[in-house]
Structure formats: C-alpha cells, structure tokens
Copies of this chain bind each other. A is one copy, B any other.
Amino acid sequence: MRQLTGQPLVYARANHPRFVAELKDFIRFPSVSAQPRHRDDMKRCAAWLARHLSEIGLEGVKVISTAGHPIVYAEWLRSPARPTLLIYGHYDVQPPDPVDEWRSPPFEPTLSGDDLFGRGASDDKGQMFAHIKAIECYLKTLGSLPVNVKCIFEGEEEIGSANLIPFLSQNSRELAADVAVMSDMRMLAPDRPALTYAMRGALSLEIEVRGQKVDLHSGIFGGAVHNPLQAMSEILASLHDRSGRVTIPNFYDRVRNVSDEERRYLARTGPTDEEILRDARAARGWGEPGFTLYERTTTRPALTINGITGGYEGPGVKAVIPVRALAKINFRLVADQEPEEIDLIFRRHIERVTPPTVRATVRTHFKARPARIDHRHPAMRAASAAYEKGFGAAPVFLRSGGTIPVVSVFKEMLRIPTVLMGFALPDDRLHAPNEKFHLPNFYNGIATSVWFMKEIAGGSANDHRLPLPRGKG
C-alpha cells in the first residue's frame, strides 16, 4: 500500500510551505460568526474557500446561502463502486476577545517555532484544511481519490449550527454517504493520537421562579413572602443528594452500564483523577460515588447549573425581594437517555418540588442525543490504521464528556456514524487568546487524511473491497 500513496505523500512534503501560506490566508479572514459586523468577512471567507476547493480539483462547488452564514459544499463522486466519505468542518471562528491578551494579532497568523498562532488556527480552519490538502495531494498527483467525497463546511458551528440542521434534512438524499469524518477535537499529545468513540448528549434549559408581582423592600416585607431567590436555591439544592447523585426520579433509569472490560480500558488509557483535577485547576473532585472522575464526566450523566441571576447584583447593598430568579441548567446525557424524556421528567420534578408560594417556569433551549461509534466499526479501524501511519502511533479510544450536536444530527438525519479524528493539542487554547496550531500536527494530519481515505476504500487488503457497512451507523 505504501507505494499507492507514495505520490500524494511526496507531493504533500514538497508543498508544506505553500500549504502553510494558504492556511495563513484562510486564517486572515476574521470569520467571527457571532458578530454581525463580520457578516461580509464571513461571505468573503466562504467565497475564498469555495474557490480554493475548485482550484484543488473538487467538483460541484457551491456556496449555499442560509438564513445565517453560508454553507460551502464540494464533491468528488467519480468512483461509484467505492464508499462515500462526508468531510465536515467549519470556517467560522470564536470572537478573539479578550484581544489585549493576544501576543500577536488574532487575524494576522504568526509563526513561532513549530506553532502557527491565530484565531481559528486549530479550531477549525487548520484541522479542516488538513483534509482539504489531502484531497489536493491525491487529485494533483493521481488525478483521482480512493473514495467518493462530499465536503460540508459550515459557518455557524460556533453559534449552534442552527441553519445546518434544516439544510441536512432538506438534502439528506443528496448528502447520502457511508461515513462522516470531522477533525475538530484534541489528541492527547503530539505523539498520542486519539479517536473519540462516545460523546454525551445535552439538554439545556432555564428555570424561572416568580413570586409576588412587584419588587419588595426586604425590610418592610422580609419574613412574610417566599423570596423567589430563596425558593430557587431550595429547588436547585434539591436536584442532587449529598453524595452528588441527581435526585430526579427515574433520571438514571435508562443509563446503560459500561462493561467491566470498557471500564478497565478507560482506567488504563484515560486521564487519572489527578490529571483531570489538574486540568480543571480544582483542589478536590466531587460527584457520583463509585466512578472515577473520567467516568463521571463521560459514561455517567451530569446536571450542571450554568448561571443564576436575580435581585441586586451590584456593589454594596440593596434591600430588595425581587420578583424573579432565573437559573440556567445543563444536562449531559449518556446512552440510552433521551433528551425528550429527561426534559419531561425534569419538568415533572420541578412541578413537584416547587412550593405553592411561588411559580416555576421551565424553558428548553437545546437538545442533543448522546452519540457513539463502535470502536470496532471499519471506519474506526481505518482511522486507527491511518493515525498509526500518519503520526507513527496507534490512537487511544476516548470517551468525551462534551457534545458535538452535528454528530448526532448526522446519525439521525443521514444515518451515518462520524469518525472524530482530532489533530488539535490540549494546549492549543481553543476559544482563548493565543490559539495556535502545531504545524507537525498539520503535516501529520494531512498524511493521516491521505491514509484514511485509502484505508476506508479498503486499500490495504484489496482496493475493490468495501469494508464499510453502507448507509447505516
């Protein structure tokens, strides 16, 4: 097989400097999706990306308008007998704030040693660009790809992908593929690649507690009415028991037990409690008894309060009993918990624990199912082999506590699993000042993508075999 990808990989190595120059051009667009003043920058960035995809030889390139920022689509479908790979990425970036803390301008990509600094360098421009360059390596040397490819690069990942979901549902037939790949996550270290095989689902809600109809003076009325802030504290405090378990009835009913074998694997390969606490800069752990911190954050569900507000929050004192208190609640769910069902039992529970002295209203913001790809899935085996060749090390299989909604959306709407193939490093400072991309990871990422396409095509054994179960996850 090595000779088959020889030409693309030789081409890659010869063109590294140009690839980095192009990535810098890509990063220079201040494509901040959250900020309306960057609306034109978003358009210009999408147009640049589309032109680039045409130039490397992709076909059917389109910039698709949405109610928000455009989606860029491209394809190469000239191997009807081979599997189809959906490559996902996003060209929008987080706001660069706080700008003062950057050592180089966020949108003037700056090389320092092996690192390229700039907003979006790693999240996600650099990582998605590795796949784009891998495609170029094939098309400019062999004139073809080992698999069919459909690329979807969106401009709203950092603001919730609101327009991607209807686009996927309206075009599910055109977007049909066998497997998706995305590189928008971390490895453990430059020589420790990782494949995420499970992510938690999410359910975000807010609770509003209201009492009397007007703000009251806490001197004149203190002691006679049930303060909404106090009622809110009482409600929130009732959601966990002393041990750290969620008290909502039936909350754990559908939580699937992890096999002893998987628990041993997690214990052997995952971060220790000490490592997690060091990353969290926390002195002590907390949570559900009987599980490691890695398990509590990945195989077990969690309920977190993200914010509470109500009454006087300024300096000094204001003697007020406010009319309302508001709390933001975030669940992380694991298989087989259904966000809709948790939403329902949460609302029932809040109704039950709210005393008659106040009224509580629950609003749902966001739902995403837990997602999982079997690590023995052929695409995972392909990714694993590709990593070994691209980075010189077999990947660790990780569970993540986070949620990438697009993964469950691909599963639900396109019925395909997603390979989560990270090229970022833990210290890349995603979403923070001085974000960077480690260029050796860019180069190894390109090689990994080159190998991955080959592996998915069943290349190592037989170029014509299709190891991938088609059209289902």
Contact = CB atoms under 8 A, between A and B. Distances in A.
Contacts of A366: 317
Contact of A311 (B225, B277, B305, B321): B305
B280 A221 contact: yes
A218 interface: yes
Contacts of A327: 229
A288 interface: yes
B227 A304 contact: yes
A67 interface: no
Contact of A332 (B213, B219, B305, B357): B219
A48 to B, nearest CB: 29
Nearest to A212: B282
A326 to B, nearest CB: 7
Q: 7 tightest CB-CB pairs across the interface, nearest first?
A: A223-B302, A307-B311, A219-B402, A212-B282, A237-B237, A222-B302, A226-B286
A386 to B, nearest CB: 26
Contact of A204 (B214, B220, B317): B317
Interface string A312-328: 11001111111001111
A240 interface: yes
Nearest to A356: B284
B233 A308 contact: yes
B219 A403 contact: yes
A300 interface: yes
Contacts of A408: none
A345 to B, nearest CB: 18
Interface string A359-399: 00000011000000000000000000000000000000000
A297 interface: yes
Contacts of A250: none
A367 to B, nearest CB: 11
Contacts of A283: 212
A233 B222 contact: no
Given A219-B200, A219-B202, A237-B237, A307 B322 contact: yes
A449 interface: no
Contacts of A296: 223-224
A230 B240 contact: yes
A191 interface: no
Most buried by B among A225, A230, A328: A225
Given A219-B400, A306-B318, 10 more contacts: A220-B400, A221-B297, A223-B296, A225-B282, A227-B305, A229-B308, A304-B319, A307-B310, A308-B309, A311-B328
B311 A224 contact: no
A240 B225 CA distance: 13
A433 interface: no
A303 B286 CA distance: 30
Given A306-B317, A401-B219, A401-B220, A226 B284 contact: yes
A26 to B, nearest CB: 26
A190 interface: no
A301 interface: yes
